[in-house]
Amino acid sequence: MRKIAASLLLFKFAFSLEVYLYPQYFLWKEFSPAGGKLLEESGFLLGLGLRGDVGYFTGKAELYGGTVDYDGQTQVGDPVQTDTNYIGTSLAGGMWFETGKVIRFRGEALYHFDLWVRDIESTSEAVGYSERWFFDSLDLGLKVSSGELYAFGTYRLMLRDARMQASLEGIPELRPKMGPAYELGVGMKGASYGVELVYSYVKFKRSEPEPYGSGYVLQPESEKQTLSLRLISYF
């Protein structure tokens, strides 16, 4: 019993840390009520991440940014091509557990929030503006590993509708409705370095219209997708 208690005590205060750099292919789309595509943004962003465990607690922080291509239209339907600048951060923290020997299973339950600024540059056809987005979720994750290889998935249960505030004067805060969100990935872990390929998806349903001037404004149905290559260093 003493050996078991000592092992549990050591496990409780175990500490691990990972730092990773990730180029990320980014895709943002917005759709009309009829399902037609209103705009698309695509390109590469660069991010830096940090994650680790302290006993049964786990956490993660990421910072990312860059410029992508904007292919959309004005309010009257005229085509617009420009650039969109992104900067964002995400934080998550919660509990984890692990079981198994040859094949190991790790489960996680984390509170997660994502915040980013989407800055559309002006053109000769349209005036640019910025949007500040925020959503939070309960992340339920499972990782299955065997030797150096592993696969993982996370379902993001949104806790409330997202928030979006545009920089244009007088526009009220909009609340795009909760949609499905998840993350899937595979990885390989070496002695001190590793690599992961990760796909992430989140959908925001159309917000309720809010009064603006003599009419109204809303955020159309939107999708955010990323494909990331994480280059990891273990400490």
Q: Summarize pLDDT for 1-51 with one digit per residue, the tens.
A: 555 454 444 455 678 999 999 999 999 999 999 989 999 999 999 999 999
Please determine, for residue 84, whether its predicted confidence score (pLDDT) is greater than 50. yes
Domain total in the chain: 1
Q: Which residues constitute the domain of residue 17?
A: 2-234
State the pLDDT at residue 125.
80
Residue 175 and residue 206: Cα distance in Å, rounded?
Answer: 8
**What is the residue-averaged pLDDT of the chain?**
93
- Neighbour tally for 165: CB within 10 Å: 15
State percent of the chain over pLDDT 90: 86
CATH code at position 43: 2.40.128.100
Q: How do 57-73 and 104-120 pair as beta strands?
A: unpaired
Please determine, for residue 188, whether its predicted confidence score (pLDDT) is greater than 90. yes
Q: What is the pTM of this model?
A: 0.91
Question: Residues 95-120: pLDDT tens digits?
Answer: 999 999 999 999 999 999 999 999 99
Residue 91 and residue 114: Cα distance in Å, rounded?
Answer: 7
Higher pLDDT, 73 or 111: 111
Nearest-5° Cα angle at 191, 232 to 17: 50
Whose structure tokens read 């922080």?
61
